[in-house]
Amino acid sequence: MTDRLYLRPTGFVDAPFGYDGQMLRLAGGLTFFAMMELIHVRDGDRVSQTLVPVQALESALSSFSSEIQEQARTTISRLTAPRTTLKLAARTIPLDQPQVMGIVNVTPDSFSDGGMHQDPTAHAMDMLQAGAALIDVGGESTRPGAKPVWEGDEIERVRPVIELLAASGAAVSIDTRKAGVMEAAFEAGAGLVNDVSALSWDARALEVVAMRGCPVVLMHHQGAPETMQQDPRYDDVLIEVHDWLEARIAIAVAAGIDRANILVDPGIGFGKTLRHNLTLLNNLSLFHGLGCPIVLGVSRKRSIGALSGEAPVDQRLGGSIALAVLAAAQGVQLHRVHDAFETVQALRVWRGLRDEALSPI
Protein backbone atom coordinates (compact mmCIF):
# COMPACT_ATOMS: atom_id res chain seq x y z
CA MET A 1 0.00 0.00 0.00
CA THR A 2 1.28 3.46 -0.91
CA ASP A 3 0.25 6.34 1.30
CA ARG A 4 1.21 9.91 0.45
CA LEU A 5 0.33 13.48 1.28
CA TYR A 6 0.52 16.23 -1.35
CA LEU A 7 0.65 19.89 -0.31
CA ARG A 8 -0.77 22.68 -2.46
CA PRO A 9 -0.34 26.31 -1.35
CA THR A 10 -3.51 28.40 -1.63
CA GLY A 11 -5.19 31.29 0.16
CA PHE A 12 -2.84 33.78 -1.51
CA VAL A 13 -2.43 37.19 0.15
CA ASP A 14 -0.86 40.45 -0.96
CA ALA A 15 1.66 40.91 1.86
CA PRO A 16 2.73 39.33 5.16
CA PHE A 17 2.65 42.47 7.29
CA GLY A 18 0.69 42.03 10.50
CA TYR A 19 0.22 38.30 10.00
CA ASP A 20 3.20 36.82 11.82
CA GLY A 21 3.12 33.03 11.72
CA GLN A 22 -0.02 32.99 9.56
CA MET A 23 1.55 32.79 6.11
CA LEU A 24 4.52 31.51 4.17
CA ARG A 25 6.45 32.85 1.19
CA LEU A 26 6.17 30.76 -1.97
CA ALA A 27 9.52 29.73 -3.47
CA GLY A 28 11.21 32.92 -2.31
CA GLY A 29 9.14 34.97 -4.75
CA LEU A 30 6.56 37.74 -4.56
CA THR A 31 3.65 35.50 -3.53
CA PHE A 32 2.54 34.65 0.01
CA PHE A 33 -0.03 32.06 1.06
CA ALA A 34 -2.10 31.56 4.20
CA MET A 35 -3.61 28.13 3.50
CA MET A 36 -2.41 24.70 2.48
CA GLU A 37 -4.51 22.07 0.77
CA LEU A 38 -3.57 18.62 2.07
CA ILE A 39 -4.35 15.94 -0.53
CA HIS A 40 -4.11 12.46 0.97
CA VAL A 41 -3.64 9.75 -1.67
CA ARG A 42 -3.62 6.03 -0.99
CA ASP A 43 -2.91 3.52 -3.76
CA GLY A 44 -3.69 6.13 -6.38
CA ASP A 45 -7.04 7.21 -4.91
CA ARG A 46 -7.73 10.43 -3.03
CA VAL A 47 -8.68 9.62 0.53
CA SER A 48 -9.24 13.20 1.65
CA GLN A 49 -8.70 16.86 0.77
CA THR A 50 -8.40 19.34 3.63
CA LEU A 51 -7.78 23.08 3.74
CA VAL A 52 -5.52 23.98 6.67
CA PRO A 53 -4.36 27.45 7.81
CA VAL A 54 -0.58 27.78 7.80
CA GLN A 55 -0.47 28.27 11.58
CA ALA A 56 -2.36 24.98 12.08
CA LEU A 57 -0.21 22.96 9.69
CA GLU A 58 1.90 21.19 12.32
CA SER A 59 -1.20 20.16 14.24
CA ALA A 60 -2.84 18.82 11.08
CA LEU A 61 0.24 16.82 10.14
CA SER A 62 0.37 15.17 13.57
CA SER A 63 -2.57 12.95 12.63
CA PHE A 64 -0.49 11.23 9.94
CA SER A 65 2.25 8.63 10.23
CA SER A 66 5.77 9.72 11.07
CA GLU A 67 6.87 8.81 7.54
CA ILE A 68 4.24 11.05 5.96
CA GLN A 69 5.10 13.84 8.39
CA GLU A 70 8.75 13.66 7.38
CA GLN A 71 7.83 13.73 3.67
CA ALA A 72 5.50 16.68 4.27
CA ARG A 73 8.20 18.69 6.02
CA THR A 74 10.54 18.08 3.10
CA THR A 75 7.83 19.31 0.76
CA ILE A 76 7.22 22.42 2.88
CA SER A 77 10.92 23.18 2.76
CA ARG A 78 10.88 22.88 -1.02
CA LEU A 79 7.73 24.98 -1.33
CA THR A 80 9.30 27.87 0.53
CA ALA A 81 12.99 27.66 -0.47
CA PRO A 82 14.14 30.51 -2.76
CA ARG A 83 14.90 29.41 -6.29
CA THR A 84 18.45 30.01 -7.43
CA THR A 85 19.23 32.32 -10.30
CA LEU A 86 19.27 30.76 -13.75
CA LYS A 87 22.84 30.75 -15.05
CA LEU A 88 23.40 30.62 -18.81
CA ALA A 89 27.01 31.16 -19.82
CA ALA A 90 27.80 34.79 -18.89
CA ARG A 91 24.15 35.67 -18.19
CA THR A 92 22.21 35.21 -14.97
CA ILE A 93 18.43 35.48 -14.68
CA PRO A 94 16.90 36.02 -11.21
CA LEU A 95 13.96 33.75 -10.43
CA ASP A 96 12.53 35.65 -7.47
CA GLN A 97 10.15 37.29 -9.97
CA PRO A 98 8.36 36.14 -13.15
CA GLN A 99 10.49 36.16 -16.29
CA VAL A 100 9.66 35.79 -19.98
CA MET A 101 11.15 33.24 -22.36
CA GLY A 102 10.53 34.39 -25.93
CA ILE A 103 9.70 31.70 -28.50
CA VAL A 104 11.54 31.62 -31.84
CA ASN A 105 10.38 28.76 -34.04
CA VAL A 106 12.72 28.26 -37.00
CA THR A 107 10.21 25.90 -38.58
CA PRO A 108 7.70 25.99 -41.43
CA ASP A 109 4.95 24.18 -39.51
CA SER A 110 4.76 25.29 -35.86
CA PHE A 111 1.15 25.67 -34.74
CA SER A 112 1.33 29.42 -34.09
CA ASP A 113 4.08 31.11 -36.06
CA GLY A 114 5.63 28.52 -38.36
CA GLY A 115 7.27 30.29 -41.30
CA MET A 116 5.91 33.71 -40.26
CA HIS A 117 9.20 35.42 -39.46
CA GLN A 118 11.53 35.78 -42.43
CA ASP A 119 14.27 36.99 -40.08
CA PRO A 120 13.93 35.02 -36.84
CA THR A 121 17.01 36.69 -35.35
CA ALA A 122 15.48 40.15 -35.77
CA HIS A 123 12.25 38.84 -34.25
CA ALA A 124 14.24 37.51 -31.27
CA MET A 125 16.01 40.84 -30.83
CA ASP A 126 12.64 42.59 -30.77
CA MET A 127 11.53 40.29 -27.96
CA LEU A 128 14.70 40.95 -26.01
CA GLN A 129 14.19 44.68 -26.48
CA ALA A 130 10.66 44.23 -25.14
CA GLY A 131 12.03 42.69 -21.95
CA ALA A 132 12.26 38.94 -22.57
CA ALA A 133 14.96 37.45 -20.34
CA LEU A 134 15.98 34.73 -22.79
CA ILE A 135 15.10 33.31 -26.19
CA ASP A 136 14.05 29.70 -26.80
CA VAL A 137 15.06 28.60 -30.31
CA GLY A 138 13.44 25.52 -31.84
CA GLY A 139 13.87 23.83 -35.20
CA GLU A 140 11.29 21.05 -34.90
CA SER A 141 7.57 21.50 -34.41
CA THR A 142 6.07 19.42 -31.60
CA ARG A 143 2.47 20.52 -32.22
CA PRO A 144 -0.18 17.77 -32.22
CA GLY A 145 0.28 15.65 -35.33
CA ALA A 146 3.79 16.89 -36.09
CA LYS A 147 6.33 14.44 -37.51
CA PRO A 148 9.98 14.24 -36.42
CA VAL A 149 12.60 16.30 -38.28
CA TRP A 150 15.96 14.85 -39.32
CA GLU A 151 18.67 15.93 -36.89
CA GLY A 152 20.82 17.52 -39.58
CA ASP A 153 17.97 19.69 -40.83
CA GLU A 154 17.14 20.76 -37.29
CA ILE A 155 20.75 21.78 -36.64
CA GLU A 156 20.94 23.80 -39.85
CA ARG A 157 17.78 25.65 -38.87
CA VAL A 158 18.78 26.63 -35.35
CA ARG A 159 22.57 27.03 -35.43
CA PRO A 160 22.83 30.38 -37.30
CA VAL A 161 20.10 31.96 -35.16
CA ILE A 162 21.73 30.82 -31.90
CA GLU A 163 25.17 32.00 -33.05
CA LEU A 164 23.91 35.51 -33.84
CA LEU A 165 21.92 35.81 -30.63
CA ALA A 166 24.74 34.49 -28.46
CA ALA A 167 27.21 36.85 -30.15
CA SER A 168 24.93 39.76 -29.21
CA GLY A 169 25.08 38.70 -25.56
CA ALA A 170 21.58 37.25 -25.39
CA ALA A 171 20.68 34.30 -23.17
CA VAL A 172 19.59 31.45 -25.45
CA SER A 173 17.96 28.07 -24.88
CA ILE A 174 17.55 25.24 -27.37
CA ASP A 175 14.14 23.59 -27.73
CA THR A 176 14.96 20.05 -28.84
CA ARG A 177 14.65 16.35 -28.01
CA LYS A 178 17.86 15.32 -29.78
CA ALA A 179 21.27 15.00 -28.16
CA GLY A 180 23.09 15.91 -31.38
CA VAL A 181 21.09 19.13 -31.71
CA MET A 182 21.82 19.94 -28.07
CA GLU A 183 25.56 19.55 -28.69
CA ALA A 184 25.46 21.73 -31.82
CA ALA A 185 23.43 24.35 -29.95
CA PHE A 186 25.96 24.42 -27.10
CA GLU A 187 28.76 25.00 -29.60
CA ALA A 188 26.73 27.85 -31.11
CA GLY A 189 26.24 29.50 -27.71
CA ALA A 190 23.05 28.11 -26.17
CA GLY A 191 23.08 27.74 -22.39
CA LEU A 192 19.87 25.86 -21.54
CA VAL A 193 18.05 22.81 -22.90
CA ASN A 194 14.26 22.83 -23.13
CA ASP A 195 13.18 19.25 -23.88
CA VAL A 196 9.50 18.42 -24.34
CA SER A 197 10.35 14.76 -23.72
CA ALA A 198 12.13 15.46 -20.39
CA LEU A 199 15.33 13.85 -21.76
CA SER A 200 13.52 10.60 -22.54
CA TRP A 201 13.37 10.66 -26.36
CA ASP A 202 17.10 10.37 -27.08
CA ALA A 203 19.13 7.83 -25.10
CA ARG A 204 22.17 10.16 -25.07
CA ALA A 205 20.34 13.29 -23.89
CA LEU A 206 20.81 12.71 -20.16
CA GLU A 207 24.56 12.22 -20.60
CA VAL A 208 24.93 15.27 -22.85
CA VAL A 209 23.15 17.59 -20.40
CA ALA A 210 25.01 16.15 -17.41
CA MET A 211 28.39 16.58 -19.13
CA ARG A 212 27.54 20.18 -20.02
CA GLY A 213 26.35 21.06 -16.52
CA CYS A 214 23.70 23.40 -17.90
CA PRO A 215 20.11 24.10 -16.83
CA VAL A 216 17.41 21.88 -18.35
CA VAL A 217 13.63 22.05 -18.56
CA LEU A 218 11.92 18.70 -18.03
CA MET A 219 8.42 18.81 -19.53
CA HIS A 220 5.61 16.35 -18.93
CA HIS A 221 4.03 14.71 -21.94
CA GLN A 222 1.85 11.72 -22.65
CA GLY A 223 2.60 10.08 -25.98
CA ALA A 224 4.46 11.39 -29.03
CA PRO A 225 3.46 14.58 -30.88
CA GLU A 226 2.04 12.52 -33.75
CA THR A 227 -0.60 10.87 -31.54
CA MET A 228 -0.62 12.60 -28.13
CA GLN A 229 -3.98 14.34 -28.57
CA GLN A 230 -5.93 11.37 -29.93
CA ASP A 231 -7.20 10.01 -26.61
CA PRO A 232 -5.25 11.25 -23.56
CA ARG A 233 -6.40 9.67 -20.29
CA TYR A 234 -5.56 10.05 -16.60
CA ASP A 235 -7.17 8.83 -13.39
CA ASP A 236 -5.96 11.96 -11.56
CA VAL A 237 -4.10 14.29 -13.92
CA LEU A 238 -2.71 16.58 -11.21
CA ILE A 239 -1.19 13.80 -9.11
CA GLU A 240 0.00 11.78 -12.11
CA VAL A 241 1.78 14.73 -13.75
CA HIS A 242 3.41 15.63 -10.42
CA ASP A 243 4.63 12.07 -9.86
CA TRP A 244 5.87 11.73 -13.44
CA LEU A 245 7.91 14.91 -13.14
CA GLU A 246 9.23 13.78 -9.75
CA ALA A 247 10.39 10.52 -11.34
CA ARG A 248 12.09 12.33 -14.22
CA ILE A 249 13.89 14.62 -11.75
CA ALA A 250 15.18 11.54 -9.91
CA ILE A 251 16.38 9.98 -13.18
CA ALA A 252 18.13 13.21 -14.18
CA VAL A 253 19.85 13.54 -10.80
CA ALA A 254 20.95 9.89 -10.94
CA ALA A 255 22.48 10.61 -14.35
CA GLY A 256 24.63 13.37 -12.84
CA ILE A 257 22.50 16.46 -13.47
CA ASP A 258 22.57 18.91 -10.57
CA ARG A 259 19.08 19.27 -9.10
CA ALA A 260 19.69 23.03 -8.88
CA ASN A 261 19.87 23.05 -12.70
CA ILE A 262 16.46 21.40 -13.21
CA LEU A 263 13.28 23.28 -14.12
CA VAL A 264 9.89 21.59 -14.62
CA ASP A 265 7.01 22.21 -17.03
CA PRO A 266 3.58 20.52 -16.61
CA GLY A 267 3.26 20.33 -20.39
CA ILE A 268 -0.03 22.07 -21.12
CA GLY A 269 -1.49 20.60 -24.32
CA PHE A 270 0.96 17.70 -24.56
CA GLY A 271 -1.29 14.66 -24.26
CA LYS A 272 -4.08 16.42 -22.34
CA THR A 273 -7.70 17.35 -22.90
CA LEU A 274 -9.10 20.79 -22.15
CA ARG A 275 -10.25 19.62 -18.71
CA HIS A 276 -6.82 18.16 -17.97
CA ASN A 277 -5.17 21.47 -18.91
CA LEU A 278 -7.56 23.53 -16.79
CA THR A 279 -7.05 21.28 -13.77
CA LEU A 280 -3.29 21.74 -14.02
CA LEU A 281 -3.57 25.51 -14.49
CA ASN A 282 -5.86 25.86 -11.47
CA ASN A 283 -3.37 23.92 -9.33
CA LEU A 284 0.04 25.07 -10.55
CA SER A 285 1.20 25.89 -7.03
CA LEU A 286 1.35 22.14 -6.21
CA PHE A 287 4.39 21.76 -8.48
CA HIS A 288 6.52 24.06 -6.31
CA GLY A 289 6.70 21.10 -3.95
CA LEU A 290 9.13 19.49 -6.41
CA GLY A 291 11.65 22.13 -5.38
CA CYS A 292 12.41 23.28 -8.93
CA PRO A 293 11.53 26.47 -10.82
CA ILE A 294 8.39 26.14 -12.92
CA VAL A 295 8.23 26.87 -16.65
CA LEU A 296 4.82 27.31 -18.28
CA GLY A 297 4.01 27.34 -21.99
CA VAL A 298 0.37 28.26 -22.64
CA SER A 299 0.83 31.03 -25.18
CA ARG A 300 -1.79 30.89 -27.99
CA LYS A 301 -2.62 27.26 -27.22
CA ARG A 302 -5.73 25.40 -28.29
CA SER A 303 -7.32 25.52 -24.84
CA ILE A 304 -7.62 29.31 -25.19
CA GLY A 305 -9.44 28.92 -28.47
CA ALA A 306 -11.73 26.27 -27.00
CA LEU A 307 -12.77 28.69 -24.23
CA SER A 308 -13.34 31.62 -26.59
CA GLY A 309 -15.58 30.48 -29.43
CA GLU A 310 -12.82 28.56 -31.22
CA ALA A 311 -10.79 31.73 -31.73
CA PRO A 312 -7.96 31.13 -34.24
CA VAL A 313 -4.33 31.18 -33.17
CA ASP A 314 -3.78 34.82 -34.08
CA GLN A 315 -6.71 35.89 -31.88
CA ARG A 316 -5.61 34.31 -28.58
CA LEU A 317 -3.51 37.10 -27.10
CA GLY A 318 -6.05 38.05 -24.42
CA GLY A 319 -6.32 34.47 -23.19
CA SER A 320 -2.54 34.08 -23.22
CA ILE A 321 -2.14 37.17 -21.04
CA ALA A 322 -4.87 36.00 -18.66
CA LEU A 323 -3.11 32.69 -18.11
CA ALA A 324 0.30 34.34 -17.67
CA VAL A 325 -1.05 36.53 -14.87
CA LEU A 326 -2.85 33.55 -13.28
CA ALA A 327 0.43 31.62 -13.35
CA ALA A 328 2.44 34.52 -11.92
CA ALA A 329 -0.02 34.73 -9.03
CA GLN A 330 0.77 31.07 -8.31
CA GLY A 331 4.51 31.71 -8.33
CA VAL A 332 5.45 30.45 -11.80
CA GLN A 333 8.93 31.75 -12.55
CA LEU A 334 9.38 31.38 -16.32
CA HIS A 335 6.71 32.09 -18.96
CA ARG A 336 7.33 30.76 -22.47
CA VAL A 337 5.46 33.07 -24.86
CA HIS A 338 5.09 34.27 -28.44
CA ASP A 339 3.97 37.79 -27.55
CA ALA A 340 6.85 39.12 -25.47
CA PHE A 341 5.98 42.82 -25.35
CA GLU A 342 2.41 42.27 -24.17
CA THR A 343 3.34 39.55 -21.68
CA VAL A 344 6.22 41.54 -20.21
CA GLN A 345 3.91 44.52 -19.82
CA ALA A 346 1.25 42.43 -18.07
CA LEU A 347 3.81 40.89 -15.70
CA ARG A 348 5.33 44.28 -14.95
CA VAL A 349 1.90 45.59 -13.97
CA TRP A 350 1.37 42.48 -11.81
CA ARG A 351 4.77 43.03 -10.20
CA GLY A 352 3.97 46.71 -9.62
CA LEU A 353 0.92 45.64 -7.62
CA ARG A 354 3.04 43.22 -5.60
CA ASP A 355 5.79 45.80 -5.00
CA GLU A 356 3.25 48.28 -3.69
CA ALA A 357 1.68 45.66 -1.41
CA LEU A 358 5.13 44.76 -0.07
CA SER A 359 6.11 48.38 0.62
CA PRO A 360 5.71 49.22 4.33
CA ILE A 361 3.02 51.82 4.95
Decide if 280 contacts 301 (C-beta within 8 A).
no
- List CB contacts of 25: < 8 A, sequence separation 6 or more: 16, 31, 32, 80
CA neighbor of 238 nearest in space, from 44, 77, 29, 57 = 44
Q: Is 178 a catalytic residue?
A: no
Residue 82 identity: P
Q: Give the span between the Cα atoms of 301 and 149, in whole angstroms.
A: 22
Q: 22-37: b or e for each residue (b if 16 or more CB lie within 10 Å)? A: bbbbbbebbbbbbbbb
Q: Is 227 helix (H, G, I), strand (E, B) or coil?
A: coil
Confidence band, pLDDT 50/70/90 cuts, at residue 110: very low
Q: Give the span between the Cα atoms of 72 and 5, in whole angstroms.
A: 7
Q: Is 301 a catalytic residue?
A: yes
Q: Which overall architecture, per CATH, does domain 86-357 show?
A: Alpha-Beta Barrel (3.20)
Taking the CA atoms of the chain, what radius of gyration do you get in angstroms? 20
- Which member of 157, 302, 336, 354 is catalytic? 336
Q: What is the pLDDT of residues 4-32, one digit of tens each?
A: 999 999 999 999 999 999 999 999 999 99
Four-point Cα dihedral 180, 182, 188, 194, nearest 10: 160
Average pLDDT for residues 224-247, to the nearest whole number? 88
Q: Give the span between the Cα atoms of 2 and 68, in whole angstroms.
A: 11
Residue 291 identity: G
Per-residue CA distances from 9 to 6, 51, 282 (Å): 10, 10, 12
CA neighbor of 334 nearest in space, from 136, 145, 58 = 136
Q: What is the pLDDT of residues 162-217, one digit of tens each?
A: 999 999 999 999 999 999 999 999 999 999 999 999 999 999 999 999 999 999 99
Could you write out the three-class secondary structure of 3-19? Answer: EEEEEEEEEEECCCCCC
- Which member of 248, 301, 302, 316 is catalytic? 301
Average pLDDT for residues 338-350, to the nearest whole number? 98
Angle between helices 237-254 and 274-282 (to 10 degrees): 70
The pTM score is 0.94
Q: Give the span between the Cα atoms of 32 and 11, in whole angstroms.
A: 8
Residue 308 identity: S
Residue ranges of the domains in the chain? 3-80, 86-357
Q: What is the pLDDT of residues 26-58, one digit of tens each?
A: 999 999 999 999 999 999 999 999 999 999 999
> Is the confidence at residue 125, as pLDDT, over 50?
yes
> Is the confidence at residue 360, as pLDDT, over 90?
no
Q: Is the dihedral of CA 265, 266, 272, 277 positive or negative?
A: negative
